Amino acid sequence: MINIADLTKEKLPGNYFAPSAYLQGDFEAGMIENRAGNRILALPETLIQSIYATMDQELGQAAGLVLFNCGRWWGKNFYTRFGEEVSKYYRKPVKNLTMIELIQCLKQSWKTHGWGSIDLDISYHHKGFLVITNNNSPFAENAPQTNQPMCYVEAGIFASFFSQISGQNLHCVQTNCESMGAKSNLFIIGLEERLKPVITWVQELQTHEQIMQNLCS
């Protein structure tokens, strides 16, 4: 028989990343913290725009690779902090969360940090790929308009985050970008070797749908 009195003794968690609970600011000190007491860095639009402009000027075509690696590093640290906070709040290690709980936490965390709204499409998992959609990305919004996707930092974060979850060295390539006038930013995650041709297909301006068809055929 189910005993409700026992159930009420357990911790019943809500949404850890709810913005009103997660972000706390001290206006006088000019400081933003999250609910774990970690400092949050606010990225002004001008800074993001300047990063793109400076990297392009200093590094030219290599700028994308450098930003991607910055994202990888950022993603590695993000995963560590995310894991610590989530496991403390839910009182279980991240690896013991169900996939849907983990995805939900990532989605909420992503949104609360102001990086956009993400959705995961796992329908290609049998082929070894994961597709992520991100809407309202501040990186895409402040990137220069070219005919190539520009969210290198996010691609690096996704590559690193999902590598650590899966225990495999995964790569991520962006196929569609809001900065090119697309409705959403689309990313494909998979093994680096298998994603190599995607880079060429993106340069050839193939659509995301064509690329997925090529990959899965």
Q: Which of 32, 55, 66, 103 binds another protein (CB under 8 A)?
A: 103
Q: Please identify, using beta-carbon distances, which residue of 105 and 195 lies nearer to another protein.
A: 105
Q: Which of 19, 44, 93, 197 binds another protein (CB under 8 A)?
A: 19
Q: Please identify, using beta-carbon distances, which residue of 27 and 61 lies nearer to another protein.
A: 27
Min dist CB 38 to another protein, Å, is 18
The DSSP bridge pattern shows strands 170-176 and 130-135 to be unpaired
The C-alpha atoms of residue 9 and residue 2 are separated, in whole angstroms, by 13
The tally of CA atoms less than 13 A away on the side-chain side of residue 55 is 21
Q: Applying CB under 8 A, does 5 fall inside the site for another protein?
A: yes
Of 83-91, 94-102, 134-142, 193-201, the window that binds another protein (rule: CB under 8 A) is 94-102
Q: Applying CB under 8 A, does 37 fall inside the site for another protein?
A: no
Q: Is 169 helix (H, G, I), strand (E, B) or coil?
A: coil
Contacts by 101-110, CB closer than 8 A, 24 or more apart? 102/165, 105/16, 105/17, 106/82, 106/161, 108/15, 108/16, 108/17, 108/18, 109/17, 109/82, 110/134
Residues that bind another protein (CB under 8 A): 1-5, 7-8, 10, 12-21, 24, 26-28, 98, 100-101, 103-105, 107-108
